[in-house]
Structure 1
Amino acid sequence: MTLTELEEFWGKPTIRNELRKTLYMGAAGIVLGLIGPFDSYNLPQAFARHLYWLSLIMISSLMSGPLARGMFPPMNRAGFSPLLGFALFSVAMSIGIFPFVIFNEIYLSSPQGVTWDYSLEFLGYVGGWDYIEWFGQVLVLTTVLIGAISMIHRAVQKPAPATPSTPLPGPDATTEVAGQKFLKRLASNLGHELLCLSMEDHYLRAFTTKGDQLILMRLKDAASELEGYPGLQVHRSHWVALSAIREVKRDGRRIILQLKNDHEVPVSRSYVDELKEQGIL
């Protein structure tokens, strides 16, 4: 999965996405309650064991959204690999859930419930290696859980339907032909007003005024299929339509294009002259 796909699933704050994520996480909690890993099977009642895992899983689900929205976009901009981004996200999730694991250990071991004195006694009695071992267990379980749920979610998503090979609507024949070979790749519900293209690993994400879609192809090939469409490549990973450019911003020596869908696209130095020829700079 790409970093963008991970961000969309774990961080997109929509009701539908949160319900889907809760369903996956809840199912994982039930499975963990049945298996009882890390000595949780020693709990006297099955209900208590399921409650233990479901509570930890639901807390993890609540944490995942803010963490994904805060971590994946900057990692994507910095060019992190999906594997590294996934690993860092798993570590952050494990750090967030670890205090709740310690609290549960205190609660389960206390003969009279959780008290301040017993909590301090417990924390002082447990050795440093015990904490390292517990965190390692949390990290392994969290990594496996996030990875499995991410792959299951990706597997059940149906690919966008192909657009029927019918002529594109337009005011004249020139508009019909320009870029039609590439635009036919887009789902019909996305329309044909292309804004920009951005590379994500081996995939190309195409943005229109109505949404976006991942396509397995190279940017070079897409630019070739868009011959005649008013746009140009501005970076080795980005192509923009001229009509989509709303503002040109400068950050020191860096040039950034602000598009009308609020995306910001960096401009490489090697493409500055082409932008000047188009009258954009």
Structure 2
Amino acid sequence: MTLNDLKEFWGKPTIQNELRKTLYMATAGVVLGLIGPFDSYNLPQAFARHLYWLSLILISSLMSGPLARGMFPPMIRAGFNPLLGFIVFAFAMSVGIFPFVIFNEIYLASPYGVTWDYSLEFLRYVGAWDYVEWFGQVFVLTAVLIGAISMIHKAVQKPGEAATPAPTQAPHTAGQNFLKRLAPNLGDELLCLSMEDHYLRAFTTKGDQLILMRLKDAAVELDDYPGLQVHRSHWVALDAISEARRDGRRILLKLKNDHEVPVSRSYVDHLKAQGIL
């Protein structure tokens, strides 16, 4: 079971999920009332024993939603191990329910009902180690309860009710920041870019388009696209180059569309490093 599964069940704020969770928890409360763990079987009446456990369990159910919505998302983002995330959640639930456990114990132990004086006397009477042992019992029972209910829910839920996976990001397209400037009918296979006054003409295998921007800004947006600047006014895609030739002292790159692009001297070494010249 993943942390997403736990977050989906314990934290999903829908009426259907809250009712389902309450039903599971109430059933657990009835079972605990029958078993009577941690000396609760000594209660003189079965009704009181069931009321004791049902009250604690239903308070836990109400508490679980806000805790799950607050705790699981940051644990998921931090990459928590599912077992560790489960333990942290069970511990937080135990901390939240522990005061109610103590209140119930005071209520059950007092012959005169819950009074301030008797409550203080009760709390002073219980030793520090008793509180630790007491909390340990609450934690173990809470962890077992949460784990059992989570696994039962996982086993009985319908396939369509499985936790919705986190949305996956759309695959990154090289040079997508620049390509989205082009008309859809031009495709995404660039051949070259050439400056014309204050405009940039982008050539693709399906046509060309004028864009109002600078070549250096386009080069930044095309940083991960396989291509390079070969002239202060020209950029070419590497797989668009079909031939490199000399015309006197000039070097020209012939592209797939038979368009020729001049290479300035300052970029010759770069082209040689790419194995183009």
1:185-221 per-position Cα deviation (integer Å, ceiling 9, x unaligned): xx9xxxxxxxxxxxx9xxx93648xxxxxxxxxxxxx
CA distance in 2 between partners of 1:146 and 1:274 (Å): 51
Match among 232, 257, 261 for residue 172 of structure 2: 232
Find the residue that maps to 2:159 and give its secondary structure: coil
Which amino acid is the alignment partner of residue 11 of structure 1? Answer: G
Change in Cα spacing, 1:146 to 1:274, as seen in structure 2 (3 Å) is farther
Change in Cα spacing, 1:119 to 1:275, as seen in structure 2 (3 Å) is farther
What 5-or-longer segments of structure 2 have no aligned partner? 181-220, 227-277
Find the residue that maps to 1:122 and give its secondary structure: helix
Change in Cα spacing, 1:16 to 1:121, as seen in structure 2 (3 Å) is same
CA distance in 2 between partners of 1:95 and 1:45 (Å): 28
- Tell me the TM-score normalized by structure 1: 0.60
What 5-or-longer segments of structure 1 have no aligned partner? 162-186, 188-199, 209-222, 224-229, 235-241, 244-272
Which amino acid is the alignment partner of residue 89 of structure 1? Answer: F
When the two structures are aligned, how many residues end up with a matched partner?
183
* Structure 1 position 14 matched with structure 2 position 24: no
Change in Cα spacing, 1:7 to 1:138, as seen in structure 2 (3 Å) is same
1:142-169 per-position Cα deviation (integer Å, ceiling 9, x unaligned): 00000000000000012249xxxxxxxx
Q: Where does structure 1 differ by over 6 angstroms across 4 or more consecutive aligned residues?
A: none
Alignment map for 1:58-73 (pairs within 5 Å): 58-73=58-73
* Structure 1 position 137 matched with structure 2 position 114: no
CA distance in 2 between partners of 1:4 and 1:233 (Å): 29
CA distance in 2 between partners of 1:277 and 1:93 (Å): 51
**Percentage identity across paired residues of the two chains:** 77
Which amino acid is the alignment partner of residue 37 of structure 1? Answer: P
CA distance in 2 between partners of 1:100 and 1:275 (Å): 60
Change in Cα spacing, 1:233 to 1:60, as seen in structure 2 (3 Å) is farther
Change in Cα spacing, 1:4 to 1:275, as seen in structure 2 (3 Å) is farther
Q: Report what 1:157 is aligned to.
A: 157
* Structure 1 position 124 matched with structure 2 position 124: yes
Which amino acid is the alignment partner of residue 139 of structure 2? Answer: L
Which amino acid is the alignment partner of residue 86 of structure 2? Answer: F
Q: 1:139: how far off?
A: 0.3
Alignment map for 1:160-171 (pairs within 5 Å): 160=160
Change in Cα spacing, 1:231 to 1:133, as seen in structure 2 (3 Å) is same
Alignment map for 1:182-197 (pairs within 5 Å): none
Q: 1:51: how far off?
A: 0.3
Find the residue that maps to 1:231 and give its secondary structure: coil
Q: 1:275: how far off?
A: 8.4
Change in Cα spacing, 1:48 to 1:73, as seen in structure 2 (3 Å) is same
CA distance in 2 between partners of 1:119 and 1:98 (Å): 15
Which amino acid is the alignment partner of residue 231 of structure 1? Answer: P
Find the residue that maps to 1:31 and give its secondary structure: helix
RMSD of Structure 2 on Structure 1 (CA): 3.1
- Tell me the TM-score normalized by structure 2: 0.61
Q: Report what 1:100 is aligned to.
A: 100
CA distance in 2 between partners of 1:67 and 1:11 (Å): 7
Alignment map for 1:127-276 (pairs within 5 Å): 127-160=127-160, 205=165, 207=167, 231-232=171-172, 276=224
CA distance in 2 between partners of 1:59 and 1:116 (Å): 23
